[in-house]
Structure 1
Amino acid sequence: MTSKDELKARVCAEIDRQAERIVAFGDEIMRNPETGFREHDTARRVIKQFVDMGLEYRSGLAGTGVKARMPGRSRRRTVSILGELDSLLISDHPYADPGTGAAHACGHNAMAASMLGAGLGLQPVMDELDGDVVLFGVPAEECIELDWRMALREAGDLEFMLGKAELIRLGEFDDIDMALITHTEGAGDPLATMSGTANGSLIKRVRFVGRSAHAGNEPWSAVNASKALTLAVSAVDAQRETFRDSDMVRISHLITHGGEAVSAIPGAAEMEMMIRARTVEAMEDASRKVDRALRAGSVALGAEVEINTVTGYLPLVPDEPLVDVVDANSRDMLGDEHVLRHGGHLGSSTDVGDLGRVMPVAHPFAASGNDAPMHSNGYFVRDHVLAAVNPAKFMAMSAVDLLADGASGAEEVIRDSGPKLGRDDYVALRRRLDSVRRYRGDEE
């Protein structure tokens, strides 16, 4: 029987042999960005790689997802290695699509390349593993273009705004036991960060409706929807000291419509809000307080308010038993001095948090060679060896540890990670967090 160390050495040698292909694939996606649920060309590029590997695949999952299974010698457990397909919208980014403004300012192109690289490395040793590996190109991690996605929802084309949430709802993770995915981070050391928690989020689409009138001749006949909104924002700000520091609550808003003309009292005003927090309970608490503040603006001016709350992300809590496996392999490959175990808590969000509700997940980070802030017009992957080839190796090595010797490593991770939600319970949780509420401010 071949030892795990021998299998891992073969895996890494194959990834090194394929490094030029991995780097070229990451660069190709970076230069051809597409936003979530629109990644049709990106999906075709992934499909071409799967075809070249001789893999059977399924495509069109949650619109653009692509999934290929590499069978082991037995089917005891299944480990998935994920790669994001989507980009952001940053029109002044150096690699932005000139027509759409799409740009890979979060490094998802390298995540797709690391998925491919791990698959290339594992393919020659699959007949010595006691489980399957699923390579999964997943859509729509970024929570953007909400008007368009809400229209898709109203048309019945999707229910959830994010790719992994929608894939879970559709049952596309039912045949997978655990998942690995590596995000990009900054320029240099640490070369890899193994773990970190992240906020969940709720989105609110808020519309105040009042009554318009001439701003000079007859303002007393109006109900100023814009001022109702302004008061509501002030009331939200007044709530901030009521949030526990440990809950890491973040509330941001953007006024999307404030009126038609300065000469008329606005009869309608709209804004979009995002509430982030460390736990589901803290998300719900903050949501209730924000709704009260929105109602206060409505009552003060006598306007109506409609509050449409849509679940964004669930909080991320990686499973330490699975992180242990990836951590050990990253240290063997990169050295202890180049690996950070825990990067702390992030105020940002990822739909890997959703996936972690239904299965063990590990979500390490790898250096990208770029120290610009992520999601900025200066951030892109400068070094695909750091961002794609290195994580391809430590994720593939981890798959060996999980699936060799009767998949005993995977069994231990599942046992030690504790209970998870079933698909139906997960879907019910997201639906419970969604709501549409309407209030009339002039009611006694």
Structure 2
Amino acid sequence: MTASVPGPVPAAQLKERARAAIEACRERLLDLSEDLQRHPETGFREHRTAATVAGWFTELGLPFESDLSLTGVKARMPGRTPGPTVAVLGELDALVLPRHPLADPETGAAHACGHHAQVASMIGAAVGLAAVRQHLDGDVAFLAVPAEESVELEWRREQVRAGELKHLVGKADLLARGAFDDVDMAMLCHTSGQPARLSVGDSHNGSVVKRITFTGRASHAGSSPWHGVNALKAATLAISAIDAQRDTFRDEDAVRVNAVLPHGGDAPTAVPDRAELEVVIRARTLDALRGACAAVDRAAWAGAMALGARATTETTLNYLPHHQDPALVEVARTNGTALFGPGAVAPGRHLGASTDMGDLGAVMPVLHPFTAGATGDAHSVDYAVTDHVLAALEPAVLMAWCVIDLLVDGAAQAHDVLARRERRTAAKPDERPAADRYSDFRAGFDGLTHYDGTHDTVRGTEGEL
């Protein structure tokens, strides 16, 4: 005797069932968002937050994997029949912002970007979809992903060198490890301090990180500075050369170059023989990103040559440019309008910030709406989620409704999303695992380049831009 398959139920009824289930769990979900806000953890170290997520998955009866890319947690909710897999994501990590009012006094971590609310909305979506899973023609994966923020980079580089990580940010590392090989499309909701209730269709810059080490020769700064090679001055010349490039970047490419000087010598009594620059380069497209990286490389080489120093540049692709899938944007806009009203849904815009949803979007359709509920400027000491209903509960309903639309009626809308993406790219479906497709997008960025300004020669190793 075979189990009967439930008959068709209108999507509108399924959405109301999902919303009712989320509302029944309302106070617990709001408490979850507030609790995680009070216990921030930085990327790849989110052990408490990951354990909390695992506890919810256990309660919902969802089998899960843990310790993915050190702290990631992935559960799977099968539908009634096989079909596409839609992933709902929540980012586990916080920023390093010691002066934030809610910062951890020991680590300086603070939720100044609202990821705690994302996790609560992912759990809320799981609660809602669990009530209708027997009517979905496909699976839902729930992934609590580590390390979206680009912080503590040197510690992360050490983990890469030790083989503990493959990449510096979470979704890139999960992609490389095959955690998204069985996923067809993905979504998350991000809070913001915007006036609109919902913003759908935003895009983001890609990002490259360069650590440039200038090496000179130490000497007595008072009695014999002419015997030295000043690495600090080579670095400051490089910064000036970077600044001189700014008006050469096209407005439409949205290029941003930001640099800090974490080391500039050991004592003012000696000519500095080592200086370090950390540079973040952002741009709207891969071509613009490559062009801006080349400009920064030239600036570093010019600083080294001017002082007769050496420069070593370690280049790491941090985030790919992020562009949302138009078909998924339509699904979210329709559901957002039904939930909040047509005047509450803002059109997408391009943002100069970066997100590793861009990496995921390079290999599959992604959705990344912004919801209200926060005040202040993101990544600043005045940012805080002040309305957890807007930031966590309503996004849970929105994502549950989107998944229902995608996976009812034989998953017709999900199949349409995938077919439209193939038509836009004018390519045959790439059946390779997501990990293999992702490696193609990263090719040519990561690498190490050496410049010897004492001999006017340049040589590079794998991945030179």
Asked if TM exceeds 0.5, the reply is yes
Which residue identity is paired with 1:93?
A: H
Partner amino acid, structure 1, of 2:93: D
Partner of 1:217: 223
The number of equivalent residue pairs is 441
Partners in 2 of 1:286 and 1:161 — Cα distance?
20
Q: Which residue of 2 aligns with 1:434?
A: 446
1:431 Cα deviation after fit? 4.1
Partner SS, residue 402 of structure 1: helix
The 1-side partners of 2:62 and 2:396 are apart by 18
Q: What CA distance in whole angstroms lies between the structure 1 residues aligned with 2:68 and 2:343?
A: 40
Q: Structure 1 regions of 5+ residues with no counterpart?
A: none
2:401 to 384, 397, 406: 397
SS at match of 1:30: helix
Q: Which residue of 2 aligns with 1:347?
A: 352
Q: Out of 122, 130, 136, which is 1:115 matched to? A: 122
Equivalent residues in 2 for 1:284-303, closer than 5 Å: 284-303=290-309
Pairs within 5 Å for 1:208-247: 208-247=214-253
Contact 1:84 1:112 survives alignment (8 Å): yes
**Residue aligned with 2:131, SS:** helix
| Offset at residue 354 of structure 1 (A) | 0.4
Displaced runs of 4+ in structure 1, greater than 4 A? 419-422
In structure 2, how many angstroms separate the alpha carbons of the residues matched to 1:410 and 1:244?
37
Tell me which amino acid in the other structure corresponds to 2:90: G
Q: Which one of the candidate residues 157, 169, 189 is aligned to 2:176? A: 169
Matched position secondary structure for 2:347: strand
1:36-435 alignment, distance < 5 Å: 36-186=43-193, 189-342=195-348, 344-368=349-373, 370-418=374-422, 419=425, 422-435=434-447
1:405 is paired with a residue whose SS is coil
> Which residue in 1 is equivalent to 2:460?
none
Equivalents in 1 of 2:58, 2:121: separation in Å?
17
Q: Which amino acid aligns with 1:440?
A: D
Amino acid at match of 1:18: C
Deviation per CA, 1:289-310: give whole Å up to 9, x if none: 1101110111111000001111
Deviation at 1:425, TM superposition (A): 3.3
Identity of aligned residues (%): 48
Judge conservation of contact 2:198–2:369 (CA < 8 Å) in 1: yes
Q: What is the identity, as a one-letter code, of the residue corresponding to 2:243?
A: D
Instruction: Tell me the TM-score normalized by structure 1.
Output: 0.98
| AA at the equivalent of 1:425 | R
- Provide the rounded CA distance (Å) in 2 between the counterparts of 1:57 and 1:264: 56
Q: Is the 8 A contact 1:327 1:341 kept in 2?
A: no
TM-superposed deviation, 1:56: 1.1
Q: Are the counterparts in 1 of residues 177 and 435 from structure 2 also a CA contact under 8 Å? A: no
How far did residue 423 of structure 1 move? 2.7
CA contact 1:249–1:282 (8 Å) conserved in 2: yes
Q: Does the 8 A contact of 2:362 with 2:441 survive in 1?
A: no
How far apart, CA to CA, are the structure 1 residues paired with 2:274 and 2:84? 55
Whole-angstrom distance in 1 between the partners of 2:135 and 2:437: 36
Q: Per-residue CA shift, 1:85-106, capped at 9, x if unaligned?
A: 0000111212211111111010
Q: Partner of 2:40: helix, strand, or coil?
A: coil
Output the CA distance in 1 between the equivalents of 2:200 and 2:392: 15
Residue identity matched to 2:176: R
State how far apart, in whole Å, the 1-side matches of 2:103 and 2:372 are: 22
SS at 2:454's partner residue?
coil
- For 1:239 and 1:90, the matched residues in 2 are separated by 30
1:312 match: secondary structure? strand
CA distance in 2, matches of 1:425, 1:300: 42
Give, in whole Å, the separation in 2 of the partners of 1:124 and 1:390: 17
The amino acid that maps onto 2:127 is: L
406-415 vs 178-187, greater mean Cα deviation: 178-187
- 1:263 CA displacement: 1.3
**1:365 counterpart letter in structure 2:** F
Given the two structures, how large is their TM-score scaled by the length of structure 2?
0.93
Secondary structure at 1:433's aligned position in 2?
coil
> What does the per-residue CA deviation read over 1:59-85, in whole Å, with 9 as the maximum and x for residues that have no partner?
011111101111100111111110010
The CA distance in 1 between the partners of 2:441 and 2:358, in whole Å, is: 13
**1:149, 1:30 → 2: CA distance?**
23
Note the C-alpha offset of 1:380: 1.6
What 5-or-longer segments of structure 2 have no aligned partner? Answer: 1-7, 457-465
- SS in structure 1 at match of 2:207: strand
Q: Is the 8 A contact 2:375 2:386 kept in 1?
A: no
1:262-316 superposed Cα distances (whole Å, 9 cap, x missing partner): 1111111111000000011111111111101110111111000001111111000
